[in-house]
Structure 1
């Protein structure tokens, strides 16, 4: 059975948990989605029992620091292992075209030539287009532009080995253009910046995010059967699961998950 390994659950301002990123794992081929804001991703992968030498597939949603910069550390580690002969095969990162150019540029500015020499040879950064169908690791996937008015951002839907549908909305609420892709998902992965009662304090709408209330209402409208909420504030981290679950239950009747960092969710 596939698993969702939660590496981080926090938004860009979170200090008590890692930034939101995760692994989809079928027991053979882990797929990394986003990588957080720094080299903490290496620690989170180690704690989750994921050897970087086993990681060959990744996806980046957008260029914000809490999603992008951990990937530079992943690329650095993998290139180092390639140079020492400790990494077999290739590594493929998928993302939209502008972001692919940015990853290459940042890598060439921050990594030595002894590492970037593997780019295009064994490290492949492949751009995806809106609506494009391609593989994401072992899974058939469809990638889509979420229509962000901030930085350009892509989400995806994919099919698990048994045909069930998993949809990732990135870190913004579902827009009308997304619905054609993510409606009727078995698993919907969604941001929920804060509780509705805390909206004046955290101002999610100003940041193009939503509260638990809106995220759960949208998931119900979309016909999702399982909903994962993350990319949250962390002011009451110990109580977050109980508080978010209580609010979410008022608007979503399916299976609701509010994970902590390093939780593993069977899919």
Structure 2
């Protein structure tokens, strides 16, 4: 059964939840990981989620900000360690743009043990993807796209399943019209919502090039998507976030809206 597991749902500076990252369970039981948060807290989140590393052979990294890329180093270390202990069979593939690829190569060379780093390029592979490039694995087709960020180069992706279901991750910045073909009419759209519209003066999302729940929901309505998942939020309202964000979203969007907490599992029906 296809499922989305949110490992983290918060923005870069949260302390009451983990940074935004997630994985999908695919039709064949394989797991596909996206980003890894900002540190080795990713190992705890994966453990709590019951993540089976042996079932995960593919990962996508959206961009090089600390709250998305630093956890990848720990994932690579964990996979390399499992490989060296004979507890991981096969290869591990990471898809990312050129800037992230350079960052990961540099950081792993500087920080991993030699026997772990020796796995990079031999059984752990970094694949550079470009805007509009397509990759097929585990019976799904991924198309990477540039969100044209003004802060740091960032890619999102559209994942297509064999039956035509489309799952689109917009990254953690507002939608860009350049990517309409990947988002319009999607079955699932993952979009950032830094805070409620009424709290914009408090959290100042626009100064950080982020959206509010209102704007993300208006976008989903305009694009005609069936299911909207909101993430990369503030954590000051963590106790009421799900209810409050959902209520605001429904004022502007008439599809199914999900405001997950960390470790929530969403069936992709």
Shorter-chain TM-score category? Answer: over 0.9
The answer for the alignment partner of 1:226 in structure 2 is 227
Give the alignment of 1:1-267 within 5 angstroms.
Answer: 1-26=1-26, 28-135=29-136, 137-267=138-268
Deviation for aligned residue 1:137: 4.3
Name the TM-score, length of structure 2 as normaliser: 0.97
Name the TM-score, length of structure 1 as normaliser: 0.98
**1:56-88 Cα shifts (integer Å, max 9, x gaps):** 110000000100011100000111111111110
Deviation for aligned residue 1:169: 0.2
Provide the C-alpha distance between the structure 2 equivalents of 1:229 and 1:161, rounded to a whole number of angstroms. 25
3-state secondary structure, aligned to 1:5: strand
Counting matched residue pairs gives: 267
Deviation for aligned residue 1:162: 2.2
Deviation for aligned residue 1:136: 5.0
3-state secondary structure, aligned to 2:201: helix
Please list every run of at least 4 consecutive aligned residues from structure 1 whose deviation after the TM superposition is greater than 6 angstroms: none
3-state secondary structure, aligned to 1:217: helix
Residues 52-61 or 244-253, more deviating: 52-61
3-state secondary structure, aligned to 1:56: strand
Q: What is the RMSD of the two structures over their aligned residues, measured on CA atoms?
A: 1.0
Deviation for aligned residue 1:138: 3.6
Provide the C-alpha distance between the structure 2 equivalents of 1:188 and 1:166, rounded to a whole number of angstroms. 6
- Does the CA-based 8 Å contact 2:167-2:188 persist in structure 1? yes
3-state secondary structure, aligned to 1:177: helix
Provide the C-alpha distance between the structure 2 equivalents of 1:200 and 1:114, rounded to a whole number of angstroms. 50
3-state secondary structure, aligned to 1:178: helix
Unaligned residue ranges in structure 2 (runs of 5+): none
- Does the CA-based 8 Å contact 2:64-2:99 persist in structure 1? no
Task: Return closer, same or farther for 1:238/1:136 CA change in 2, 3 Å cut-off.
Answer: farther
